[in-house]
Structure formats: structure tokens, C-alpha cells
Amino acid sequence: MTNLSRLSSSCTPSGALKITRRRALQSMAAAGCALASGCGSNLTASGGSGGNPPEGGPPVGIPMPTTQAAFLDDVIRQGCLFFWEQASQATGQVLDRASNYLGGALDSRTTASIASTGFGLTALCIADKYAYLPSVTHAQIVDRVQTALSWHLNSMPEENGFFYHFSDINTGLPETGSEVSSIDTSILMCGVLAARAYFGAENAQIQSLATQLYERVNWPWMLNGGSTFSMGWMPDSGFLAARYDTYCELMMLYLLAIGSPTNPVAPSYWNNFARPTFTFDSYQFISGSADPLFTHQYSHAWFDFRNKSDAYANYFDNSVAATQAHKAFCAQDYPQWYNANYWGITSSDYAGGYTAWGGPPSLGPIDGTVVPCALAGSLAFDAADCYPALNGLLSHYGNPAWGRYGFVDAFHPAANWYDTDCIGIDQGISVLMAENLRSDLVWNTFMSNPEPVNAMQLVGFH
């Protein structure tokens, strides 16, 4: 198995565990759970109804959007609010997770995620474009972006330009056990370049800070002498043995490295990761073994792969197929839970804590929980399937599935379990891909940078 670098601090029930998607996958594999449905779950279907939406209208108190445009506006607006309110004014770092029911206050937890901050910088571009933040001026947003860039350039602990995945939101000091992460630094750099493209023309300081951050990253260092990138580095033990050597969300990592004007890797490294094909039902697509759906979403949030192919694939079409296969998998393999109106799982919280799950093939303790960002993160690939199901989650469940920042991370109505948290990267992929469906804003902004365009040309996209 590959990738799954995503970290999420504190499982919901206990608030005590910090775990990476990679470690969750490895733990399930070690326990023999990776391909077993229901592994680790004590939840069962109630009366055979599973997660199927009930009859009836929306809950009282939740105004229902009447059009797709209105619904997307709600998802994007509320998600952007997370990245403004759940960030430090002093450092610009964004919390890894926060309660969805705080009324605008900063969560008392102090663990920030470098990936959440990368999504947040991009979300601020969207928020500024549409004036989404109540009582927040354009100048205040510009100041927040500048603060974040300056802090990460001048004050945040780093190694060869790479950042620790988890840090204290106030001090920037790495959390105990956190790795210097290759993929999560890449997510941050995507946000940095998006912010440079959006704000840089009017603000020379943002232009300079963002450029310095990107050009400081020593991409060859993270190869550690190999032909593929290490997943990270630990101060006490050195480079992690696990590598980004099989297709997943890794495309952003390789393209940012190849496009670097200061510390690049050769374009030939693009050919070094495996691209295995997987078939489910009538769908065939490139994917690692049992990879959750987010692996087909993240690089696409910024890099525009539409109508482009390299020597191996059209990766946008590949993600379309992966999304459609996931919908079919949910309904066919777990009909007691899922159907055309209720489907979608990817690494997230669940009643038992935090897990890396999905399919096909089955991965993790699949129990009828639904994860809204699985749908929202694929809106730009397959709106015809994802939009009705996502809108249906709001219309059927409303509160407590929806709060100040939009959907909670996950919920299981048949078990009467609703998460109370939002996770930054899940909000982020939801916001960015909904906006890309609506307007192409993130794609157009990010791809106005010369470096990603050059990288894609160097590796043979046409």
C-alpha cells in the first residue's frame, strides 16, 4: 500500500490519539483487517434500514438551498469560515481539527496541521473573491496570508525547507512524534503558490515570501538517494523507509519538485512510481491497492489535469472512473447501508475513532458511516453522481450533520452517531473541489504560476 500520509489529531471519542492515514492502513493490514468488511466495528444495521435516507423533508431550522448553485455556495462559504476562525492570528497556522459547534470561537485544542494550512491559504483566496467572511475586510485577509507566509518562512521549524506535519498552533514547535512530511509540505506549497498567484500582483511582500518558501525546499534531499520520494524524516531516526512509489495523491509532490527553479529533480523521476490498474465492475483505473478515495482527489485540487494526458493516462478521467467505481462498490458490496442517494467513504472519523477506509476493494471497518468529503472532493469529477447524494445528506439529516462550518467529518444515522468535529483537510478538499466545479477558480489561479505549467510540460503532458 502507498501514500496515506494524512494526519488527524485526536480520535473523536477519546480525544487522545494522533494517527496518520498511513499508520491507520498499516495497523489494519497488520491485524488482517485491510480487506475485511466490518473489521473493528461493533455497529450493525438496525432493522435492515442501514444508512438509507429516511422519508420526509428537511429538519426544522435548516434552510435548504433550492439550486445546485445555492448548495455549492453554502458548502464553500461555510468551509471557508473554518479556515479563518480556526487559525492563529499570530502565526497563520490552521488547526488540524475543531468542533463544528463553537459559535466562531477558536477551538481550545492547539494542534495545527501543515496540510490544513495549505488548504487554508487557498480557501482564503476563495473567501476574498466572494467576500465570504462576515465583517472581515480584504486588507485583513491579505494581512493574514502575509502573516502565515512570513511565519512559515522565518519562524517555523523546518528541515531543508520541509515542515513537520503537526505543530503547536501558537509556537510552531513540532508535536511529539510528528514527522517532517514530504506530501504535507507539498500541500502547503500548493497553497503558498495559490496565494502568490491570487494576492501577489497587488502585494510584493506576499509575492516575495511565497517565492522564497517554495524555492527553499530542497526536493532532492527527500529522495534520500533513492528513485522515489521518502514519506518523511524523523529527527531521531532519519528518513522513513516508506516511499511514495505507487500512484496516489503523490502527483503534486513530483510535479512541484520537477518544476522547482532552484532545487529540482529531473523530469525522469515522474516515471519512477508504479501505476497499477484496478478493475471493479465495468470500471478500470490506476490505483494503489485498496486506496481510499482521497488519493484520487488531492493533487487535482490545484493541478488542472483536465483534457491532458502523459505517456500513461488522463488522470482526470482516471479520477472520474475511481469515483464512479466507489459509488458502485458502496451500493453493490454494502447494500444494507448504501445506495445511490447515500454513499461515500474515505479516511475519516467514525464511531470507533479515526480510520483509513474505503474501497474498492473493501478497506477498514465499513459500518454504514458516510463521509461527506468523499462526495464533495469528487464534485468536479462527477457532479451528476456526487451532487445529489451530497445535497441529500443535508436535506435528510441537517442538524447535527451540519454545523457552523458545513458538514461534520462523518456520521452514521442508523447508529445515531454524529461526529462533532470538522477536520481541516476534509473541509479543504470539499471547498476547493466544489469551487473548481463552480468556477475553475483554484485551477485557474494555481495554474497561472509558471512552475506547475513547466513541470507538466517537462514530464510530457499534452
| Residues 85-126: tens digit of each pLDDT | 999 999 999 999 999 999 999 999 999 999 999 999 999 999
- CA 343 to each of CA 171, 316, 355, 359, 423: distance values in angstroms, whole numbers, following the listed order: 40, 21, 17, 12, 19
What is the pLDDT at residue 63? 65
**CB 424, CB 363: distance < 8 Å:** no
Q: Give the confidence band of 290 by pLDDT, cuts at 50, 70, 90.
A: confident
Q: What is the pLDDT of residues 218-236, one digit of tens each?
A: 999 999 999 999 999 999 9
Architecture (CATH level 2) of domain 7-458: Alpha/alpha barrel (1.50)
* H helical segments located in 31-67: none
- E-assigned strands of 218-361? 229-230, 232-234, 238-239, 243-244, 277-280, 283-286, 348-350, 353-355
Residues 6+ apart with CB under 8 A from 67: none
What is the pLDDT at residue 311? 98
What is the pLDDT at residue 62? 58
What is the pLDDT at residue 39? 29
- Give the containing element (helix H, strand E) for 254: helix 251-259
**CB 163, CB 181: distance < 8 Å:** yes
Amino acid (1-letter code) at residue 425: I
**CB 194, CB 151: distance < 8 Å:** no
Of 104, 158, 108, 161, nearest to 133 by C-alpha is 104
Q: Give the confidence band of 65 by pLDDT, cuts at 50, 70, 90.
A: confident
Q: 42 exposed, middle or buried (CB, 10 Å; 0-12, 13-18, 19+)?
A: exposed
Domain ranges of the chain: 7-458
Q: What is the pLDDT of residues 298-357, one digit of tens each?
A: 999 999 999 999 999 999 999 999 999 999 999 999 999 999 999 999 999 999 999 999
